[in-house]
Amino acid sequence: MSYLALARKWRPKIFADVAGQDHVVRALTNALKGGRVHHAYLFAGTRGVGKTTVARILAKALNCEAGVNTEPCGECSACTSIDEGRFVDLIEVDAASRTKVDDTRDLLENVQYTPSSGRYKVYLIDEVHMLSGHSFNALLKTLEEPPPHVKFLLATTDPQKLPVTVLSRCLQFNLKRLSSDLIVDRMALICEEEKIKADGMVLPRIARAASGSMRDALSLLDQALAFGGGELRDDDVAEMLGSLDQRHIGELLECLTAGDAPGLLGQVRNLQELVPDYESVLNDLATVLQQIAVLKLAGPDSLDEDADTEMLAGFADQLSDELVQLFYQIAVTGRRDISLAPDPRLGFEMTLLRMVAFRPAAAAPPGSVTGGGQQLTPGGSIPRGAAADRKDRRSAASTTPDLAARSPGAPEWPGIIDALKLTGALRQLAENCELIENDASGFRLHISRSNEHLLTDQLRQRLAEALRAAYGDNLRVQIDLVDAVSDTVALREVDDSARKLRAARDSIQNDPDLRQIIDVFGAEIENDAIRPVNGSGNR
């Protein structure tokens, strides 16, 4: 006897077996009870969530010999024929392979004829968005006014591609992605019925890999059984999926917690022998970080049952809330960008090194090694001698006086801007700020509300980072919005330009040669055309 795949063997036969789509099942069963079945339904959703399954159950409910009912009997010839795919009045079409208008016309040629054996003639068109524009036009009239014995059940993964004229003639149901817990419960039931033993972490691991698709989950379950010779062992499934044992993720997190870049690279070299899927590794790392965040902020009762609470608690004590969020964001971004790297391993390494390199100085543990190879002091700041050696990255640190050694107000703000060597939009922001306070604790700046558009979060942060790079990592930088400012570099430049323009105009007006020309020829001076040249008042 030929083997039947689990996804086909355990396909729901009645509405009660459909998992995770209660909103769709409720609407359809109420329509069947009240005799208000629409002539056209559109089922939309990602792959493997039950679109075609729900459509087939509805076709059975409409054609069951026991009568139109919410649950087909499953035993009559109509029900068994639909389950076996040989019911003559259920016309299933894959629109991806029949996109031409002639195919659609051939399909609809027999619409007007009554069903051969069933109560309704049901057209089930899968991936309907693949039809061409002319095919939709051919379908439209029939879809709008079909004969009373015809029902249209359309399924698609991309409803945005359907014409509005088609959407307006259908009742649309959006099927949801299934939760991992629901998929695990369903697979556990199947394993129990099939007498299959599974290790504790196998089913959650498969459910996560399925990304909300029950069909994908059952296909992976089939693949895992073949890979493990009929058994579901955690190591086998992890190897099949390219994911890692939790122990390896824990070792990576230990190095990240300690800020140990050489240790991280050593772990990557060890992982290379397992030939992992590096995207999957980052996914597992992000999952653990999410669990740590849940533990820290919501407590252990909010964790999933399969979470390793003891391991998570150890890291939760060592990592701040901000650091967990930073690591998680870098892991997610790195997973997205890993395909752009020259090699997946290099992209994976750079993601881990980014977590160390962009770690806030205050969060770095004592004695940890940063990307620059400098030892951090217990307070988290880099010694000034080390900072001065990095002239290629912080040239301002060697040219700007130490903040604590200066009296308030010195040097002036224009000199500080020049010393920081700011450019572009960042310099424009600084030049429109007024320096209010300048002491050992930091800077307080004012900027006019008329220039609020310059004070973006990114530019605010970059200006603060530039000042801290020059004067100390713990420097306070405060920028306040005020109604007006009185002394900024930008205002000084405006005043200077106005002064130079007045001087230029006075020079022109008082030039004796030009006055003689005006008197002889009756000429006039166009003041708006006068511009100072080369920063002087000369014309």
Domain boundaries, the chain: 6-174, 180-241, 247-363, 395-487, 491-529
What is the per-residue pLDDT across 500-534, written as a single tens digit (0 to 9) for each?
A: 777 777 777 777 777 777 777 666 777 666 666 65
In Å, what is the CA distance from 407 to each residue of 437, 440, 446?
11, 9, 20
Q: How many CB atoms lie within 10 A of CB 429?
A: 22
458-481 burial, b if ≥16 CB within 10 A, otherwise e?
A: ebbebbbebbbbbbbbebebebee
Task: State the fold for domain 180-241.
Answer: Helicase, Ruva Protein; domain 3 (1.10.8)
Superfamily of domain 6-174 in the CATH hierarchy: P-loop containing nucleotide triphosphate hydrolases (3.40.50.300)
Tokens 């240790």 belong to 263
- Residue 210 CA, chain-centre distance (Å), reads 18
In this model, does residue 80 exceed pLDDT 50? yes
Mean pLDDT across 45-67: 92
Cα–Cα distance measured from residue 376 to residue 368, given in angstroms and rounded to the nearest whole number = 6
CA nearest 118: which of 141, 87, 95? 87
| In contact, 518 and 524? CB cutoff 8 Å | yes
Confidence label for 274 from pLDDT (cuts 50, 70 and 90): confident
Confidence label for 397 from pLDDT (cuts 50, 70 and 90): very low
In this model, does residue 349 exceed pLDDT 90? yes
Note the pLDDT of residue 220: 92
Mean pLDDT across 423-446: 88
Note the pLDDT of residue 174: 93
| In contact, 174 and 48? CB cutoff 8 Å | no
What is the per-residue pLDDT across 166-206, written as a single tens digit (0 to 9) for each?
A: 999 999 999 999 988 899 999 999 999 999 988 888 898 89
What is the per-residue pLDDT across 352-365, written as a single tens digit (0 to 9) for each?
A: 999 999 887 656 56
In this model, does residue 411 exceed pLDDT 60? no
What is the per-residue pLDDT across 105-163, written as a single tens digit (0 to 9) for each?
A: 888 888 888 888 889 999 999 999 988 888 888 888 888 888 899 999 999 999 999 99
Lowest mean pLDDT among 277-286, 302-311, 329-338: 302-311
Lowest mean pLDDT among 366-370, 436-440, 514-518: 366-370
Rounded to the nearest integer, the mean pLDDT of the chain is: 82
Q: Is 408 helix (H, G, I), strand (E, B) or coil?
A: coil
Note the pLDDT of residue 378: 34
Mean pLDDT across 466-478: 85
In this model, does residue 366 exceed pLDDT 70? no
Mean pLDDT across 464-493: 87
Tokens 């609020």 belong to 452
Note the pLDDT of residue 144: 84
In this model, does residue 19 exceed pLDDT 80? yes
Task: State the fold for domain 395-487.
Answer: GMP Synthetase; Chain A, domain 3 (3.30.300)
Class of domain 247-363 as given by CATH: mainly alpha
Mean pLDDT across 385-408: 40
**Proportion of the chain above pLDDT 70, given as a percent:** 86
